[in-house]
Amino acid sequence: MKLIIATPSPFARKVRIALIEKKIKYEEIIDIPWNENTITVGVNPLGKIPILLLKNNDPIFDSKVINEYLDHLKPNPPLYPSSFQENVSAKLIETVADGVCDSIVLVFLENLRNKNLRSKNWINRQEKKIFEGIEYLSNHLKEKEFFVGNNFSIADISCFSCLEYIDLRFPKFDWRKKHKNLDKYWKTHEIRDSFQKTKPKAQMIEPIQN
Ligand SMILES: N[C@@H](CCC(=O)N[C@@H](CS)C(=O)NCC(=O)O)C(=O)O
């Protein structure tokens, strides 16, 4: 199996963590999906990573779809809870964490444009989603060790990836100070092997033509 990733991507990171947790061997291919020469062309019509390439090279894309696929392929350890209620709770946390990351990407890209072309309204709109999304995560975590039930799940993978993506691309938001429970949660989990092995790294992307 091969996985096409970008090194800063929180979405690719979710899948990299899942593969490590499940001890599935794979080859990593590093792409920069924003650049002209991205290898996503003809593989994912949306031009986005992560993309899992199966042995026959069939592509599976979108971190949620890939991780559910992996959970079926190798059910242990389970990432998506089997109880209906917990499954929905975990997916809601995943959706909010992913949505925060989407907004961070949009702010990052907007700030790459020439100053006179940037929309303050657009940036404010995205920042509101980031702040309210993190507040939602904090309120749902409370003082627990894991987001859902007593087990590590996709909710933890998504939230952890999201928090460290904020540190990389939106450091002006001091979430540790504002949400002490998330800071405690981060300190509890940051030593996890799969988290340590997948720390996000910035990539240089080509400037966006106006
Ligand atoms: N919903 C997708 C989001 C993936 C995504 O936005 N990937 C970004 C990198 S962080 C990308 O490849 N963007 C390239 C583009 O939009 O052209 C997932 O969960 O996999």
CB 32 within 8 A of CB 38: yes
47 pocket-lining for ligand 1 (C-beta < 6 Å): yes
Q: Report CA(143)–ligand 1 centroid distance (Å).
A: 31
Q: What is the pLDDT of residue 210?
A: 64
Q: What is the pLDDT of residue 206?
A: 83
**Structural domain boundaries in the chain:** 2-73, 84-192
2-73 has which fold?
Glutaredoxin (3.40.30)
Whether pTM > 0.95 for this model: the answer is yes
75 pocket-lining for ligand 1 (C-beta < 6 Å): no
Strand partners of residue 27: 2
Residues of the chain with pLDDT under 50: none
| CA-closest candidate to residue 114, choices 202, 208, 36 | 208
Smallest CA separation from ligand 1 atom 18, residue = 62
**Percentage of the chain lying above the pLDDT 90 cut:** 96
Q: Report CA(150)–ligand 1 centroid distance (Å).
A: 30
By the 10 Å C-beta count (0-12 exposed, 13-18 middle, 19+ buried), 188 is classed as exposed
Letter for the amino acid at 99? Answer: G
154-169 and 10-21 are packed helices; what angle lies between their axes, rounded to 10 degrees? 140
6 pocket-lining for ligand 1 (C-beta < 6 Å): yes
44 pocket-lining for ligand 1 (C-beta < 6 Å): no
CB 200 within 8 A of CB 174: no
Tokens 């996890």 found at: 192
Helix (H) or strand (E) holding 88: helix 84-112
Smallest CA separation from ligand 1 atom 15, residue = 48
By the 10 Å C-beta count (0-12 exposed, 13-18 middle, 19+ buried), 202 is classed as exposed
Smallest CA separation from ligand 1 atom 6, residue = 48
Q: How far apart are CA 88 and CA 26, in angstroms?
A: 29
Phi–psi pair at 44, nearest 5 degrees? -125, 115
The closest-lying atom of ligand 1 relative to the alpha carbon of residue 49 is 12
Domain 84-192 in the same topology as domain 2-73: no
84-192 placed in CATH 1.20.1050.10: yes
Q: Report CA(49)–ligand 1 centroid distance (Å).
A: 5
CB 92 within 8 A of CB 80: no
Strand partners of residue 148: none
161 pocket-lining for ligand 1 (C-beta < 6 Å): no
Helix (H) or strand (E) holding 48: none
CB 51 within 8 A of CB 44: yes
Q: How far apart are CA 23 and CA 99, in angstroms?
A: 28
